[in-house]
Structure 1
Amino acid sequence: MQNFRTTFQIPVSKHQISLDSQMLTLGSCFADVVGGQLRENKLDVLVNPFGTLFNPLSIFKILSPSYREADERLFVENQKLWFNYDFHSQFVSNSKENLQEQVNQTIYAINTLLSTTTHLIITFGTAFIYKLLNPQTYISNCHKMPNNLFEKNLLSVKDICKSFAILYKELKEVNPDLKVILTVSPVRHTKDGVPENQLSKSILRAACHYLTTDYEDITYFPSYEIMMDDLRDYRFYKPDLIHPNEVAEQYIFEKFAETYFDENLKSFIGEWQQIRRAINHRPFNEKSESHQKFLKNLLEDLIKMSKRVRVDEEIYDVQTALSRF
């Protein structure tokens, strides 16, 4: 039978992720997707703590251990709310002081976390970047301020690699064993224009190539290529035709797991998925003896699982359900 898909092999990474790994995801909204799936499978991961960051330079800037506190010049008020140009709009407050405290606490927490993180997963979204004209500096988010305050630029491969080299040196001083996984977001930035999006993605992909060539502890995961070639069909997109749908996200995550998870972790996830299915089971009769027995068995499995990962909430929910009998 004729093959109607373009599949390709992804080599298993030598930088394996285990159940004991501590991970941090940063970058575009696809970092939320990958991080969320890791978290759902009970891995130790902090998911996009700075909010969505699309361009590499903004990611590198706030990830740097030398970035100790938010730039005072980049706080801005818009419609009686305060934002910071370096951060996503999830960082918002009706007071500059409160926002400053919120942002700086997050910066401090990440700087502390970096010393114990085993895997840093960075997702690049676009090579387009905005420069604030006064003061002259690249920013992460325009926060719907007037267009005449900014200048839109396109990063080069050299810009990205040069900026990363500085960050890499700083990260290795803090955590010599840190492994970095780079990926290009499969989300299409069509607002920039379709040809412009392809240009942007090609720059990001080329930068990833050179970074993985120059640094042996950096690997690239081809989420973009999986979406563009293996899943080349609009049925794998959400109705906006920009974002991958849940089927595509799950498929890409399974490929990620095949590439990076060690055998013990794969085995654990198989066990955990069985428990998750049991948790999500909806009984025909909640008051039946058979359902009570089902819940008791589930509770036993969760208690055993609690020796390996945190399942406090799940245990509480099952105990609450049993208390209704």
Structure 2
Amino acid sequence: MQFHTEFTPESLPYRIGLNSQIVTIGSCFAEVIGRRLADHKLTVLNNPFGTIFNPVSIARLLTMSLYGTAPDESRYVERDGVWFHYDFHSSLWANSRDELRVLLTNGLERVGEAIRKADFLLVTLGSAVVYRHIETDKVVANCHKMPGSLFEKYVYHIDHLQEDMMRLLKTLRRANPNLKVLLTVSPVRHTRDTLSINQVSKSILRVIAHECSVWNAWVHYFPAYELMIDDLRDYRFYEADLIHPNAQAQAYIFEKFVESAFDDELRGFVAEWEQISRSLVHRPLYGADSPAHRKFLTKLMKQLETLSQRIDVSAELADVRSRLKWERNQEQEEELA
């Protein structure tokens, strides 16, 4: 007897490998996936613009990065002595306009360079609800806690959103003909927009993702939204706010992503790395200077040295070597005593 609709996403025709270079951008779910990819030792530039919910702002920022366009001077805003920019998330801030300009310009250049070298771009669309800054008549990525009277809030028309996304895809293709784009719709529920508007918003984004993948062979959709809403489909898989997927849900969706998007070598490595990751956080039960623990650390060091020929594990190796050195020093001190 089944009590939920479990499904396995289709395998993607273009697989992520151990040496693939990846850029993620979009809602907070893009950051969740990007962080898990990085935890598995993949090369990831993870959500460099901060949380960006709407496709209008995502398309604008990526286009700016690829064309080398400077941040719009009319979009800087100061609040309580701190400077922000309406095209960027509030995590990107500075104490002066000039300092912020340098920070944002360098960030755009870094993203442009990363996309030109990337194998995969993961874009997570969060919401079709936008805030238009009335004075400049432009959609903002973040209101930066400015008065609500400065903005008009509405659901962006599906045709305009689709035009923005299709135009972005053409720009990406010209900049990097080898790039593969993976689209997802964020499973995070935007309940402040009301459940009805949230459903309209997610439906619009899902249609856009479908159209983009249907008309572009190098663009594919991963059903993170469907896995949360239809497969898991229970409030026990949400955080206490009943909005964000909890750690268990995130792990489940990522496991499905691994099955769908990773090649055989990388899937094998993931299993190996998870075992090593558990070993790295292991702490001895009977003392750090016991012979058994020294043997354990020596074996772990050899495993990491073997892996270092394939990936960068320099930080992990340094940690294990320092722990072994400490144990040897403890042993020498005991002998001298």
Q: Smaller-chain TM-score range?
A: over 0.9
Q: Is the 8 A contact 1:68 1:108 kept in 2?
A: no
Q: Which runs of 4+ in 1 moved over 3 A?
A: none
Q: For each residue in 1:191-214, what CA deviation from the matched residue of structure 2 results, as whole angstroms up to 9, or x when unmatched?
A: 111111111101111111111111
Identity %: 44
**Residue 70 (str. 1) matches residue 32 (str. 2):** no
**Normalising to structure 1: TM-score of the pair?**
0.98
Tell me the distance in 2 between the aligned counterparts of 1:82 and 1:265.
42
**Residue 100 (str. 1) matches residue 101 (str. 2):** yes
Instruction: Report SS of the residue matched to 2:178.
Output: coil
| Residue number in structure 2 paired with 1:5 | 4
Q: Is the 8 A contact 2:121 2:179 kept in 1?
A: yes
- Offset, 1:67: 5.0
Tell me the distance in 1 between the aligned counterparts of 2:156 and 2:217.
24
| Residue number in structure 1 paired with 2:236 | 235
| Residue number in structure 2 paired with 1:167 | 168
| Residue number in structure 2 paired with 1:290 | 292
User: Which residue type is aligned with residue 41 of structure 2?
Assistant: K
Instruction: Report SS of the residue matched to 1:134.
Output: coil
Return the structure number with greater helix share. Answer: 2
**Residue 266 (str. 1) matches residue 267 (str. 2):** yes
The 5 Å alignment of 1:1-325 reads 2-64=1-63, 65-284=66-285, 285-325=287-327
Q: For each residue in 1:114-159, what CA deviation from the matched residue of structure 2 results, as whole angstroms up to 9, or x when unmatched?
A: 1111100000110001111111111111101111111112122211
- Offset, 1:20: 1.3
Q: Is the 8 A contact 2:16 2:261 kept in 1?
A: yes
Tell me the distance in 2 between the aligned counterparts of 1:39 and 1:69.
29
Aligned residue-pair number: 324
Greater displacement, 150-159 / 288-297: 150-159
User: Which residue type is aligned with residue 192 of structure 2?
Assistant: K
Q: Is the 8 A contact 1:61 1:67 kept in 2?
A: no
How large is the RMSD of aligned CA atoms in angstroms?
0.9
Tell me the distance in 2 between the aligned counterparts of 1:173 and 1:207.
21
Greater displacement, 97-106 / 270-279: 270-279
Which structure has the larger Rg over C-alpha atoms? 2
Q: For each residue in 1:213-262, what CA deviation from the matched residue of structure 2 results, as whole angstroms up to 9, or x when unmatched?
A: 11111110110100001101111011111100000000000000100100
Q: Is the 8 A contact 1:299 1:315 kept in 2?
A: yes
Instruction: Report SS of the residue matched to 2:132.
Output: strand
User: Which residue type is aligned with residue 9 of structure 1?
Assistant: T
Q: Is the 8 A contact 2:45 2:114 kept in 1?
A: no
- Offset, 1:113: 1.3
User: Which residue type is aligned with residue 52 of structure 1?
Assistant: T
Q: Which runs of 5 or more residues in structure 2 are unaligned?
A: 328-337
Instruction: Report SS of the residue matched to 1:51.
Output: coil
Q: Is the 8 A contact 1:12 1:260 kept in 2?
A: yes
Q: Is the 8 A contact 1:25 1:35 kept in 2?
A: yes
Q: For each residue in 1:57-105, what CA deviation from the matched residue of structure 2 results, as whole angstroms up to 9, or x when unmatched?
A: 1001001112522111100001111000000001111111111100110
- Offset, 1:164: 1.4
Q: Is the 8 A contact 1:128 1:200 kept in 2?
A: yes
Tell me the distance in 1 between the aligned counterparts of 2:68 and 2:87.
11
| Residue number in structure 1 paired with 2:335 | none
User: Which residue type is aligned with residue 175 of structure 2?
Assistant: V
Q: For each residue in 1:20-64, what CA deviation from the matched residue of structure 2 results, as whole angstroms up to 9, or x when unmatched?
A: 110000000001100000000000111000000000110010011
User: Which residue type is aligned with residue 295 of structure 1?
Assistant: L
Q: Is the 8 A contact 1:82 1:94 kept in 2?
A: yes
Instruction: Report SS of the residue matched to 1:249.
Output: helix
- Offset, 1:9: 3.1
Tell me the distance in 1 between the aligned counterparts of 2:177 and 2:189.
34
Instruction: Report SS of the residue matched to 1:69.
Output: coil
